[in-house]
Amino acid sequence: MSAGGGHVERMLRQVAPGRYDAYESLLQALADGQVWMLLWHGTPGSPDAQYGNMDVEGLGYAPCVTSAQELAASGWNRAHEVVSGRQIAASLFPDRYGLWLNPHAPGGGVGIPWLDLRRIAGGLDRLPAGPLRIGEPAIEIPQFYALLGQNAHRTPAVRSLRRAWVQPALGAPYLAIGLDLYDAAPASVEAARVMMSQSITAVPEGLPVSTVALSDEYDPVAMWMRVNARPFFDRAAYGAPPSAPSYGYGYPPPHGGRQSGPAPSAW
């Protein structure tokens, strides 16, 4: 356990404003390591176990320390439990809670927002590094949009399509296509995959394209699209009545709608 905590601490010392590469290394160390979670109530494994809670600029974080040595230095006199980084990330992000590392340390420690916990839980290599800059695509590729619209019209599972240009903190920018499906059944998802594979041939060589489910309430690109992007394909425009109710198009509550009190139940 001490080895995992030590690696997190080494990466933690490298983090500084604007050092997105160092922050990404910290996330990787956290994904592969563990943290010492501070229990506000209960004991490890008990039904009433609850993590502590911090409110920073209106966002909720569960405090933790990165080693047994830091636990002793913090002066925490209640119970704690050692949890893997991936496990605590998967536990906290659905409730829009982040993780705050070593809040007792000089300077106040480092906060990991829930969006980055989502990346740890889902795979750092599978989700783009934030903070993301998201806007309307400026690149002109009418052939691709026309072909995609035609294929979407022939794919009954697709209700509408939106688009955005995404610039990650690290890595190349890419075109994101938002898929609004009538349902998330495997057949519908597979139909959308086939639609994209049939259309991607019209994309200029070297232009990265990714897809995002507009129903994903945790994806920052989907959240941006639901609020800011108008559909470039909308089945309703063809006169076909929707076969399922639409979901809400506003941003979700920033951290589960909770303003105070303990963080979610311990794992």
Q: Write the CATH number for 94.
A: 3.40.1350.90
Residue 199 lies in a domain: yes
On whether both 225 and 163 belong to a single domain, the answer is: yes
Residue 238 lies in a domain: no
- Of 175, 177, 147, the C-alpha closest to 161 is 177
Q: What is the pLDDT along the chain (267 residues), one digit of tens a residue?
A: 344 458 899 999 999 988 999 999 999 999 999 999 999 998 988 888 899 999 999 999 999 999 999 999 999 999 999 999 999 999 999 999 999 999 999 999 999 999 999 999 999 999 999 899 999 999 999 999 999 999 999 999 999 999 999 999 999 999 999 999 999 999 999 999 999 999 999 999 999 999 999 999 999 999 999 999 999 999 987 654 443 333 222 323 333 333 333 343 333
Name beta bridge partners: 2. none
Angle between helices 20-32 and 2-12 (to 10 degrees): 170
The answer to pTM > 0.85 is no
On whether both 53 and 153 belong to a single domain, the answer is: no
- Of 102, 114, 99, the C-alpha closest to 9 is 102
Residue 245 lies in a domain: no
Sign, CA dihedral 149-152-153-158, equals negative
Q: Cα separation of 33 and 7, whole Å? A: 8
On whether both 98 and 170 belong to a single domain, the answer is: no
On whether both 156 and 226 belong to a single domain, the answer is: yes
What phi and psi, each to the nearest 5 degrees, are found at residue 247?
A: -85, 170
Picking from 122, 143, 176, the residue at the C-terminal end of a domain is 122
At residue 4, the 3 state secondary structure works out as helix
On whether both 202 and 100 belong to a single domain, the answer is: no
Q: Cα separation of 261 and 156, whole Å? A: 46
Show the tokens assigned to 154: 């022939």
Indicate the number of domains in the chain: 2
Per the CB < 8 A criterion, the answer to whether 267 and 94 are in contact is no
Residue 81 lies in a domain: yes
Show the tokens assigned to 213: 């489910």
What does DSSP assign to residue 231?
-
Residue 143 lies in a domain: yes
On whether both 82 and 167 belong to a single domain, the answer is: no
CATH number of 194's domain: 3.30.70
pLDDT at residue 239, as a whole number: 52
Amino acid sitting at position 5 = G
CA atoms within 13 A on the CB side of 151: 20
On whether both 115 and 143 belong to a single domain, the answer is: no
Give the structural domain span for 162.
133-231
Residue 127 lies in a domain: no
Residue 156 lies in a domain: yes
